[in-house]
Amino acid sequence: MFYLTAFSVFLHKHCPVVSECFSPTPWCWGGRLQTLVCAVLKSRPPVKYHNELIRTADGGQISLDWVYNEASAPYPESSTRPTVLILPGITGNSKQPYVLHAVSQATRRGYRCVVFNNRGAAGEELLTPLTYCAANTADLECVVQHVKGLFPKAPVLGAGVSMGGMLLLNYLARKRTQSGMVAGLTISVPFDAQESSVSMEEPLNWLLFNKILAMGLCRTVSRHRKILEKVVDVDYVLKSRTIREFDERFTIVQFGYKSSLEYYRDASPGKKLPTTAVPILCLNAADDPFSPQNAFPLTIVQGLPNVALLLTAHGGHIAFLDGLFPRGETYMERLFGQFIQAVFEHPKDINKACGIKEEQMS
């Protein structure tokens, strides 16, 4: 579903997949089933990363996984080769199947990729007792500055998945014309963290998803117990059985919020979209158990020339499986590949469609 705007016309022209009526895998219709099957069935394209650890102003470190794509035929000159900056989900890193598929889509088109692994999420040591959350964009700003410093002439597109999409949208809203990015793409982003939490605490969603994600977050804390016990009660944190409990015992303590509700309000990007200043495409499914349909910012997006919200009736969370045996490239990957290509190959057209003047771009 799209509202007719100059941006949507651009997308229909340069991203043929948006004109398709998404039809999920015949034996895998429901959002929960799509999400579960994708996690089990999805293939893992081979990707060879070059890891880089960068330091932050507070003494911490961030792990970046690069695919430089030096063999790129369309962009043999490294200094101008477009870069896709990928932000994984809440417990994800560069090894997730959806990240590997995104990298594959980008590199086959000649682009460079870099995956921003949240602190402590990719096996590296925490040097300070600070991790990450959806509202704090300081680490992302550090990463963008680093990437732009290495390749100042190369355009950067940010692609965020789930919580990574929340972080990306919050960053784009905060930085406005100074983001260092030419566009943004989000997949299965929760626009309202409070509504997402309520949905995830429904009994079946808790059993299938919430409990497992909370366990993943607790494992990360346990792995870094020695340094984190300086600032939180680790044993109490490890008893968390939901993401909300984890946020109340860990995240709000780390980042100075009074309550999970205050944190969720700050982390929710939906109402911040009007302050973004680059073209943004958001892909969401109406049956996503993580991002309930009632929280989609439909009214807000209708008034924004630079934001397009592509909604499908089915697709679940980071799934969008189609075809009879959806192990490889599916709707989500096709959209990803076509959109980044449209952005990098038709920069003037997309900015014109979104009402963005060249002097606005940083």
Q: What is the CATH number of the domain that holds 52?
A: 3.40.50.1820
121-179 confidence digits (pLDDT tens): 999 999 999 999 999 999 999 999 999 999 999 999 999 999 999 999 999 999 999 99
Which residues are part of the catalytic machinery? 162, 288, 317
190-200 confidence digits (pLDDT tens): 999 999 999 99
2-12 confidence digits (pLDDT tens): 667 999 999 99
pLDDT in the model for residue 313 = 96
Say if residue 100 is in the same domain as residue 156.
yes
The CA distance from 13 to 215, in Å, is 43
**C-alpha closest to that of 321 among 42, 86, 100:** 42
**C-alpha closest to that of 165 among 45, 317, 10:** 317
Say if residue 262 is in the same domain as residue 125.
no
pLDDT > 70? residue 110: yes
229-273 confidence digits (pLDDT tens): 999 999 999 999 999 999 999 999 999 999 999 999 999 999 999
Q: Is 186 left (phi over 0), alpha (psi -120 to 50) or beta?
A: beta
Say if residue 99 is in the same domain as residue 203.
no
Residue 310 sits in which domain range? Answer: 24-191+277-349
User: How many helices (H) and strands (E) in the chain?
Assistant: 16, 8
Number of separate domains in the chain:
2
The last residue of one of the domains, among 226, 247, 267, is 267
b/e map of 306-338 (b: 16 or more CB within 10 Å)? bbbbbbbebbbbbbbbbeeebeebbbbbbbbbb
The CA distance from 22 to 121, in Å, is 33
Residue 356: inside a domain, yes or no? no
| Mean confidence (pLDDT) of the chain | 96
Q: C-alpha distances in angstroms, 156 versus 87, 159, 183, 323?
A: 13, 10, 8, 32
Mean pLDDT of 290-308: 96
Say if residue 225 is in the same domain as residue 339.
no
Say if residue 310 is in the same domain as residue 241.
no
SS3 112: strand
pLDDT > 80? residue 212: yes
Tokens read off for 148: 């732009």
Say if residue 103 is in the same domain as residue 198.
no
Say if residue 122 is in the same domain as residue 262.
no
Q: CA dihedral defined by 106, 110, 114, 115, rounded to 10 degrees?
A: 20
Say if residue 59 is in the same domain as residue 208.
no
Mean pLDDT of 82-86: 98
pLDDT > 70? residue 335: yes
Residue 10: inside a domain, yes or no? no
Query: How would DSSP label each residue in 263-283?
Result: HHHHH--GGGGGG--S-EEEE
Mean pLDDT of 57-78: 97
The last residue of one of the domains, among 267, 299, 319, is 267
The last residue of one of the domains, among 267, 295, 322, is 267
Residue 7: inside a domain, yes or no? no
For residue 172, count other CB atoms closer than 10 A to its CB. 28
pLDDT in the model for residue 357 = 83
362 pLDDT band, cuts 50/70/90, is: very low
- Counting Cβ atoms within 10 Å, is residue 127 exposed (0-12), middle (13-18) or buried (19+)? middle
